[in-house]
Amino acid sequence: MTANIDLHLHTLASDGRLTPTELIRLAAKLGLKTIAVTDHDSTEGLAEAYEAAKEFPELRIIPGIEMSADIPGDEVHVLGYFLDYQDEQFQATLSEFRTGRVGRAQIMVEKLKGLGKPVDWERVLHFAGDGSVGRPHIALAMVEAGYFKEPKEAFDEYLGNGGLAYYDRPKLNPIESVEMIQRVGGVPVLAHPTFMNDMEAGIANLKKVGLKAMEVYYAQYDDDTVRHLARLAKEYDLIPCGGSDYHGLGNTGEPLPGTLGPPQDTIRLLENAAAKSRPCNGK
């Protein structure tokens, strides 16, 4: 492990495989000091995470989310930190997205049947549990059905954006996601920027509507990519963030929490940005 900060972690509240309690225990065991729990379109794991963290007073949890804001043919995710996640309107919107994810996953399962790769819908629901249903749950059902050895292989031909079984779902676009996170006092952060088709244009456009940070220290990036992104973050005056994007899906080489993380100063910069993002109470 090289970092004691990890600002990108998933739980069973979306497509991670650990309960929030298990994730917190793992983070503490790995010696992490500051983490953000960032489930896709859900903050449902946070209450349990805070409860579990009472056992580990040295571990700080930043409330977070990862909004999936894909646009046709492009995978764009916006993270939000320090948001007032209990805001009712915000939760109503997230709940709508989660409902949309169920219908969309059902359509993808239908498509797979037509493609000669049937999976049982009940198994997809089983993998999703009470969490936000995502493509990794379909991928797990495909692995279980024997089509692939590990979940990530299911994305190449079938589940990836534009893949044979891909189907879109209701969501905000990246600009709306940045705006929504700010509306609830959060700090908007561009996740894994290189996944975008035109990264620099994306950064410039989102900066105009209030993007405050971008991931630089992302565990799947090599040193050159990290250096390049660190330069871009400086150029656009964005706080450099990062983490492992840990899911625990069982893919080969999946980085553990704390594999890579941002410098210590990032937390103070994010706190300052969060304080400015709350014009009403100045907190």
Task: Give the per-residue contact string, 43-82, with ligand AMP (x = CB under 6 A; - = no).
Answer: -------------------------x------x-------
CA dist., res. 74 & res. 190, Å (int) = 14
- Give the total of residues touching ligand AMP (CB under 6 A): 11
Query: Which lies closer to ligand AMP via its Cβ, residue 53 or residue 97?
Result: 97
Lookup: tokens for 218: 């992302």
Q: Does 158 bind ligand AMP (CB under 6 A)?
A: no
Q: Evaluate whether 45 touches 20 at the Cβ level (below 8 Å).
A: yes
Q: Which amino acid is at 26?
A: L
| Interacting residue with ligand AMP among 56, 87, 144, 160 (CB under 6 A) | 160
CA dist., res. 206 & res. 77, Å (int) = 12
| Interacting residue with Zn ion among 15, 39, 70, 215 (CB under 5 A) | 15
- Give the total of residues touching Zn ion (CB under 5 A): 1
Q: Evaluate whether 277 touches 40 at the Cβ level (below 8 Å).
A: no
Q: How would you classify the pairing of strands 77-81 and 5-9?
A: unpaired
Query: Which lies closer to ligand AMP via its Cβ, residue 80 or residue 185?
Result: 80
Q: Evaluate whether 42 touches 12 at the Cβ level (below 8 Å).
A: no
Query: Which lies closer to ligand AMP via its Cβ, residue 16 or residue 185?
Result: 16
Q: What is the DSSP letter of 79?
A: E
Q: Does 152 bind ligand AMP (CB under 6 A)?
A: yes
Q: Is the Cα dihedral 213, 3, 246, 221 positive or negative?
A: positive
Lookup: tokens for 250: 């069982």
We find the least distance from the C-beta atom of residue 134 to ligand AMP, in angstroms, to be 3
| Interacting residue with ligand AMP among 24, 135, 193, 241 (CB under 6 A) | 135
**What residue ranges bind ligand AMP (CB under 6 A)?**
15, 40, 68, 75, 134-136, 152, 155, 160, 247
